[in-house]
Amino acid sequence: MNDELKEAVDHLKTYGYCLLKDRIPSDVAKSLAGRCLELHDDDRYKQYITGDDHYQTLFGIMNLDDRAWTCASHPDTVSIARHFLGPSCRVVEACSKPTWPGATAPQKLHVDSASAFNEVPDVPWMINTIWMLTDFTVENGATGVVPMSHRSRRKHPPSEITPDSPLIKPVTGRAGSVMMWHGGLFHQARPNTSDQIRVGLNIAYNPSWFNNWIEGGHQPIWPETYERMPEDLQRLCPGRLGLDREQVYEQFGDRKRSTRGGQNLRDNEERMT
């Protein structure tokens, strides 16, 4: 690991997040942003979208655009994810997250995938990333983080941290940069008061012991997607292959939401080609 990455690891350890600037060319990032917006607009993918007119998540991008692979297998993010989660960590989801102008309310401040724990572990259970497919600015909704909050071991941020809290720091960067964070960090998509759409590509890395059912909506990698992947990416997506969540993840409790079928998504994709 080079000195720059070591510094990023130290930053993530101390503050709960780090920023890697300009990891893919900005024109590649922007063209992927354009494609993501087309997918959000396409009725065939509506069932894989959560959110409203101002902020959405579209799950399953690894199966829909191979350019997401470049981000998921980027040597720098993978090296940092492996540092925290071990050599067998895996890519579990890539989803696009646009914020449109007029999004005046921020996303709820939250922690990732911690709600099912009785006690939040003191080792990371997720290293999350958001690739800036457009520039991320203070005005257009750059992700806000509460530095050092990953050490709190809370399942939910305290209600005292209100949306206007000075504890929330926007993480800005040029298109092609990526922010990484510990799943326990309090964070949110911020309001978009600009006239530009902000598009992020959120890619999560989990350790092999983590049950991905917890994160409602996460779609598995389809077997045929896996077949087409280069070997280094296959190493990051082992085992859990299938067309929908029920085929792949252990289900538990009453979390039977977001069980939308990958088969339909695949059929739709076939109709497109």
Ligand X SMILES: O=C(O)CCC(=O)C(=O)O
Residues found near ligand X in the complex (CB under 6 A): 97, 107, 112, 128, 130, 143, 187-189, 200, 202
DSSP string, 109-171: PB-SS-TT-SS--SS-S-EEEEEESS-B-TTTTPPEE-TTGGGG--SS--TTS-TT-TT-EE-
CA distance 145 to 142: 10
Tokens read off for 175: 């298109």
Nearest CB to ligand X, comparing residues 141 and 262:
141
| Best CA proximity match to 63, nearest among 214, 269, 272 | 269
In the bound state with ligand X, the residue whose beta carbon lies nearer, of 150 and 226, is: 150
In this complex, which beta carbon is closest to ligand X, that of residue 184 or of residue 262?
184
Q: Which residues contact 55 (CB under 8 A, 6 or more apart)?
A: 97, 98, 99, 100, 103, 107, 141, 189
Asked if residues 107 and 56 have their Cβ atoms less than 8 Å apart, the reply is no
Q: Are the CB atoms for 145 and 185 separated by under 8 Å?
A: yes
Q: How far is the CB of 186 from ligand X (least distance, A)?
A: 10
Min dist CB 190 to ligand X, Å, is 7
User: How many CA atoms within 13 Å lie on the side-chain side of 50?
Assistant: 14
CB of 36 to ligand X, least distance (A): 12
Nearer to ligand X, 126 or 248 (CB): 126
CB of 164 to ligand X, least distance (A): 17
Q: How far is the CB of 57 from ligand X (least distance, A)?
A: 8
User: Which one, 143 or 212, has the nearer CB to ligand X?
Assistant: 143
Residue 112 vs 135, nearer CB to ligand X: 112
Distance from C-alpha of 91 to C-alpha of 219, rounded to nearest angstrom: 11
Minimum CB distance to ligand X, residue 110 (Å) = 6
